[in-house]
Amino acid sequence: MLLLDIKTFELENVSKLYERWNQVENEGYPKGLKVVNQWFDAGGERVVTVYDVESIKDYTAYNLLFTDLCRVEVFPVIGVEEFKKFTSKYMKFLIPGNSP
């Protein structure tokens, strides 16, 4: 499952956040969590990360380590091609009068 995570933090917490990230990376991520990619916004107060997780438990085990330093928003996401395949099966049901 893909999760989009947005961590927002105050600039005064940057050094603590970097220390925590380094500590977690050195100790290793939970077994069922993989970082797909990560970006900083241009202002430097947010990090956007896409995770591939086996379960929400894997994500939560990792994410709880940062909740004292930042605010976290997380959304399940799906790739465009996968979404197109999924919706193409159900488009006919969007027409009034059709039902599954």
CA 90, 94, 97, 100 torsion: positive or negative?
positive
pLDDT digits (tens, 9 = 90+) for 34-91: 999 999 999 889 999 999 999 999 999 999 999 999 999 999 999 999 888 888 887 7
Sketch out the chain's domains with CATH numbers.
2-94 (3.30.70.1060)
Q: Answer yes or no: are the C-beta atoms of 66 and 6 closer than 8 Å.
A: no
Phi, psi at 94, each rounded to 5°: -80, -15
For residues 19 and 34, give the distance between their C-alpha atoms in angstroms, rounded to a whole number.
Answer: 20
57 contacts: CB under 8 Å, gap ≥ 6: 32
Residue 98 has a pLDDT of: 67
Model's pTM, two decimal places? 0.79
